[in-house]
Structure 1
Amino acid sequence: MKFAHRFAYYLVGLVMGCFFVALVFSGKDTRCNYFPNARVLNNLRTKPFQYSEKAVQTLNEKWIDTADIKNTLKFGDVDFDQSNVPFKKGKLYIIEGKTVKNQEVILKVINYENKAVLDEIIKKPVEK
């Protein structure tokens, strides 16, 4: 069999395979969270999210809002050296992120089995 024929068979199979893969994954809400940071943040975002009294007081100071918290839970970095420790019948996660005004923040989130609670919001001091 000539190279051109083999290449044509290869292309036909490749196109059919791509079509079936696109068909299977097109309507589904699939995520590929391979790294630990992405898995933790996705787990926290998918659970019912609540705010502690201390977090509500910090939100009332108006230097941070819920949009900043959602962005931090989407794009933040989990500090695994201080995280994943048992805390109040859940696990504590320390997440570092930024506000819209580029102010660095630290979120302390307690991850329970059926919910996530924002325990504390800390404004990171500006380093010079």
Structure 2
Amino acid sequence: MKFVHRFAYYLIGLIMGCFFVALVFSGKDTRCNYFPNARVLNTLRTKPFQYSDKAIQTLNEKWVDTADVKNTLQFGDVDFDQSNVPMKNGKLYVIEGKTVKNQEIILKVINYENKAVLEEITKKPLDK
């Protein structure tokens, strides 16, 4: 069999395979969170999210808002050295992110079994 014929069969099979894979995965809410950082952030985003009194007080200071919190939960970095600490029947996660004004912030979120609570929002100290 000539190379051109083999290549044509390969392409036909590849196109049919891609079609069936797209058919199977379309309409499903599938995510590929392979790394620990992505898994933690996805878990926190999908649970009902609440704010503590301290976090609400910080949000009222107007240097940070809920959009910054959502962006941090989407694109932030989990500090695993300080995170995964048992606290109040849940686990504490420390997440570093930025505001829309490019100011670095740190979120402390407690992940309970059925909800996530933002405990504290702080400015990241400048490294010297």
Does residue 43 (structure 1) correspond to residue 43 (structure 2)? The answer is yes
Moved over 4 A (4+): none
Aligned length: 128
- Per the alignment, residue 28 of structure 1 pairs with 28
Give the alignment's TM-score, normalised by structure 2.
0.96
Measure how far apart 1:125 and its partner are: 2.7
Measure how far apart 1:3 and its partner are: 1.7
Q: Which residue identity is paired with 1:77?
A: D
- Per the alignment, residue 59 of structure 1 pairs with 59
Measure how far apart 1:35 and its partner are: 0.3
Gaps of at least 5 residues in structure 2 are: none
Distance 2:125 2:11 in 1: 57
Measure how far apart 1:26 and its partner are: 2.0
Cα RMSD of the aligned pairs, angstroms, is 1.0
Overall identity of the aligned pairs, in %: 87
1:74-114 Cα deviation digits (max 9, x unpaired): 00000000100101110000000000011110000000000
Q: Which residue identity is paired with 1:89?
A: N
1:31-69 Cα deviation digits (max 9, x unpaired): 110000000000000000000011011011010000000
